[in-house]
Structure 1
Amino acid sequence: MKWVAVSAALTATLILAGCSAEQQRGFLPEGSTDATNHTPGITSLWVNSWIVLLAVGLLVWGLIIWAAIAYRRRKGQTGLPVQLRYNMPIETFFTVVPVILVIGFFAFTAQEQSKIEARYDEPDNVVEVWGKRWAWDFNYVSDDRYFQSVQVQIDGEGNPIESTMPVLYLPVGKTTEVRLESRDVIHSFWIVEFLQKKDMIPGQTNYMSFTPERTGSFMGKCAELCGEYHSGMLFEVEVLEQAEYDAKMAELEQGQVGPEYNPLQDQYFGDEAKAENE
């Protein structure tokens, strides 16, 4: 048994050593493993879950193939095999192991989710994002600046025109809280490489907290079907050094754009709606 375990470990090591960088991160987006303080944990949970699932799959398929060969009908055999035979140790094993796996998946997922959902007591940077059909408004609360966008334009080949893409700026290494609001229907704020997305629901404020760990450009989009031009509800995220971030803030308009721009303001933000939400 010892040699079997050693052989399995060596085989797994050789397989992983031969994997590409994309395969080693479980085919998650390039640049996602170190994008924020949460992405290493999310990546680890994702990859390790797949390793366990593949191992279980190989074991189950191996047992199925072995049983099909070992208990096949031999030449000269007739009739049906015994139908009431059972093996208590094996049946106990097949019951206990799946329960342990389910509990393990739940525990590790809940642990990682609690880290992701935890809000900072005093974040360095607060941004309010408004989703609207089919664009975005960004309020840089900490800097008292804002940016309003219109729908991204698409070229003849169906690709977004870069100059029309709204950009959300974030400072690197700063604890950041993103407040998520919707002006009309349910949207979903998704920064692809950050491995996080969260719904934006009219009349309800949701939060996303993280710390960008490296500079660069990242892709963002709406992940909730919100109408005819949902696929064009795109944006970019640029994580900058503090000096560059400050320079970008200086270029933006001063102030904030709140619910007064909502087409359904009374329905979701009036006194009656607020009372219902409370």
Structure 2
Amino acid sequence: MARRRVPRAAALALLLASATACANDVPPVDWSKGLLPDHVTEQAGLVQNLWNGAWIAALAVGAVVIGMIIWACIFHRKRKQSAELPPQVRYNLPIEIFYTVVPLVMVSVFFFFTARDEAVIMSTSETPDVTVNVEAFQWSWRFTTEVGGKKFEPVVGMPVSDFNQGPELVLPVGKKVLFKLHSPDVIHSFWVPAFLFKRDVIPGISAEKNKFEITTLDKPGVYAGRCAELCGTDHSRMLFKVKLVSQRDYDSYIATQAGSAQ
């Protein structure tokens, strides 16, 4: 009876956890394009390649392990006519060295590619085309854009159920954009799935230290953004949108924001 109840209880717990997950109108991933959303930054391409390489390596290792398990089950199963145990490999120094060195080499390779790509993803330039100061607070966002030595601060956002109604961050395509993040209250997380990147916004860490840079691709459109760190009552409504536009449209947008320039 207990053996039947445990799997049922686990399935019920998984169902309840899924049913109570934060829900909103963020568009779903188009699985026809792969396991990750279609990316809109150059840095996201590195993340995509790292992800693909990790999965290829993991699947290859899994295939080898499963093959060895099946091989051992077939060729080393206990024979009815014999009470002898199959050959034992304990205290076999070459084998022990082999299965110690191989995982170490694998982890070292993963570390190398991760450290290499992380260094590129987290690098910033001295003269970005656009600087965005991101303030995350309970439960919305304030984006202050710096272009050409002027700051443009839009109206402060409010919690919303549809990301299209949330605060709007307009960015030009094909440009370097520096993000500086800070929070006055609790931990939040700035996440735009199309960037294939998210970064925690932690109180007490200045925006000069908590920053990252992207180079936008030529993919105009509206992309959803949200807080990815449980931060309180309206966490699921802490939504915003990123609008990528051509340089011409961006110049027009900046011209209309001249009244909010500081």
TM-score, with normalisation over the residues of structure 2? 0.80
The one-letter code matched in structure 1 to 2:252 is A
In the alignment, the residues of structure 2 paired with residue 69 and residue 161 of structure 1 have an alpha-carbon distance, to the nearest angstrom, of 55
In the alignment, the residues of structure 2 paired with residue 185 and residue 61 of structure 1 have an alpha-carbon distance, to the nearest angstrom, of 45
Q: Does 1:200 align with 2:201?
A: yes
Q: Which moved more, 1:212-221 or 1:71-80?
A: 71-80
1:247 alignment partner, SS class = helix
In the alignment, the residues of structure 1 paired with residue 181 and residue 163 of structure 2 have an alpha-carbon distance, to the nearest angstrom, of 25
Q: Where do residues 126-275 of structure 1 align in structure 2 (5 Å cutoff)?
A: 126-142=131-147, 143-154=150-161, 160=162, 162=164, 164-204=165-205, 205=207, 206-214=210-218, 215-252=220-257, 253-255=259-261
> Structure 1 pair 216/84, CA: closer, same or farther in 2 (3 Å)?
closer
Corresponding residue of 1:52: 57
The one-letter code matched in structure 1 to 2:36 is L
Q: Does 1:113 align with 2:118?
A: yes
Deviations along 1:185-212, one digit per CA (max 9) or x if unpaired, are 1111111110111111223221010110
> Structure 1 pair 85/173, CA: closer, same or farther in 2 (3 Å)?
closer
Q: CA deviation at 1:87?
A: 4.2
Q: Does 1:28 align with 2:36?
A: yes
Query: Could you tell me whether the CA contact under 8 Å between 2:133 and 2:144 is conserved in 1?
Result: yes
> Structure 1 pair 100/146, CA: closer, same or farther in 2 (3 Å)?
same
The one-letter code matched in structure 2 to 1:117 is M
Corresponding residue of 1:267: none
Query: Could you tell me whether the CA contact under 8 Å between 1:152 and 1:234 is conserved in 2?
Result: yes
2:153 alignment partner, SS class = strand
Q: Which moved more, 1:110-119 or 1:208-217?
A: 208-217
Q: CA deviation at 1:85?
A: 5.1
Corresponding residue of 1:10: none
Q: CA deviation at 1:82?
A: 5.4
Gap regions ≥5 residues in structure 1? 1-20, 155-159, 257-278
Percent identical among aligned pairs is 41
Deviations along 1:90-149, one digit per CA (max 9) or x if unpaired, are 332221111011000011000000001111111111111111111111111224211133
Deviations along 1:203-247, one digit per CA (max 9) or x if unpaired, are 322101011012222111111111011011011101111111122
TM-score, with normalisation over the residues of structure 1? 0.75
1:148 alignment partner, SS class = coil
Query: Could you tell me whether the CA contact under 8 Å between 2:163 and 2:225 is conserved in 1?
Result: no
Q: Greater relative contact order: 1 or 2 (C-alpha under 8 angstroms, separation 6 or more)? A: 2
In the alignment, the residues of structure 2 paired with residue 117 and residue 153 of structure 1 have an alpha-carbon distance, to the nearest angstrom, of 30
Gap regions ≥5 residues in structure 2? 1-29
1:147 alignment partner, SS class = coil
Q: CA deviation at 1:43?
A: 0.4
The one-letter code matched in structure 1 to 2:169 is L
